[in-house]
Every structure is written in C-alpha cells, then in structure tokens.
Structure 1
C-alpha cells in the first residue's frame, strides 16, 4: 500500500478533507443518504451512471449523521429504522 495515499472524505460539517484512512461509508450529495460501500442499491445506481459525480465518503456513521445524511434503508436497515423513529427527521 502506498503510504502517501490520501482519500477525500466529508467531515461532520459536510466539508471535504484529506484522510490517510479510506472512507468506510459512501453517500450521495443529492439524496443525502449514506450506506455501505457494497450497498446493492448504490452499486446499481453507479452502474447506471450519473451517481458517481455526487458520490461522497465518510470515515464513520457519526460523521455522516452530523453532516446531515441519513442511513440507507437497503444496506443499513436497522440504522434506517432507528433514524425513522427518531425525532431528528421530518415526518414523511
């Protein structure tokens, strides 16, 4: 592995920064949703094109939440259910 490798991630304020560690979660700026890097829904969207330009990465869930992103219902169903029942989002 290249010791000089840096990844661009988003912090808790939604600002980009360089990290020596890769992101563990991917997100989409437009929908403000984050999920696992192997999420089937995200991989389908990437395969269709148009998604990659809006893709962002987070080091952890706390950063994604703080930046205003919600969990993916497909790949993080328990986190999504907890988010849905919390008072931190508007009702549907």
Structure 2
C-alpha cells in the first residue's frame, strides 16, 4: 500500500511520482482509507476523494487482503458479489 500524500511534498511531485509508478505497473488500483473501498484508477468517484484519504495498491489481491471492498461504481460486478456475501 502506498499513501498518496507520501509520494511527494507538492501536488506536482506526487502527480509525477504517481504517473511513474503507474507506468511501471507498480500501481493498478486505488482505495479510500477511511471508507475501506478500492476501485480502478479511472473511477470518477475515486478521482474526487481527498489526497489524504487516497491509497494505492499494486494488485486487487493486495486491496482485498487489507479488507477493502470493491467500489460500487467502477467495479459493479465485483461489488455485487461482495454485497451478496461472496467475500471472505
């Protein structure tokens, strides 16, 4: 897990570091620390959250392993499965 605010001191530096990590394949999804929800990097809900609440994961398995649930907007099918009790 990588906390968004730990990527750099300024918004610009965080943005550049984040792009590098995504391009290198080290980040594939993001989550909300307070809500314990993860989703895709292009999710409109995720893009609106505050940087201090945003966390990044290298894999979906990492997010699930940290007890995050799928986003109901960008991961509708996984969310429905989680909601119906298909989670551990």
TM (normalized to structure 1)?
Answer: 0.64
How many residues of Structure 1 are paired with residues of Structure 2 in the alignment? 68
Query: Once the 2 structures are TM-superposed, how far is the Cα of residue 22 of structure 1 from its aligned partner?
Result: 2.5
Q: What CA RMSD, in Å, does the superposition of the two structures yield over aligned residues? A: 2.0
Task: Find the aligned partners of 1:81 and 1:67 in 2 and give their Cα distance.
Answer: 19
SS at match of 1:27: strand
Task: Find the aligned partners of 2:77 and 2:86 in 1 and give their Cα distance.
Answer: 16
Q: Which residue of 1 aligns with 2:38?
A: 34
Task: Find the aligned partners of 2:87 and 2:45 in 1 and give their Cα distance.
Answer: 24
Q: Is 1:56 aligned to residue 55 of structure 2?
A: yes
Query: Once the 2 structures are TM-superposed, how far is the Cα of residue 35 of structure 1 from its aligned partner?
Result: 0.3
| Structure 2 unaligned regions, length at least 5 | 3-20
| Structure 1 unaligned regions, length at least 5 | 1-8, 11-18
Larger radius of gyration: 1
Larger % of strand: which? 1
Structure 1 stretches of at least 4 aligned residues deviating more than 3 Å after TM superposition = none
Q: Which residue of 1 aligns with 2:78?
A: 79
Query: Once the 2 structures are TM-superposed, how far is the Cα of residue 87 of structure 1 from its aligned partner?
Result: 5.4
Larger % of helix: which? 2
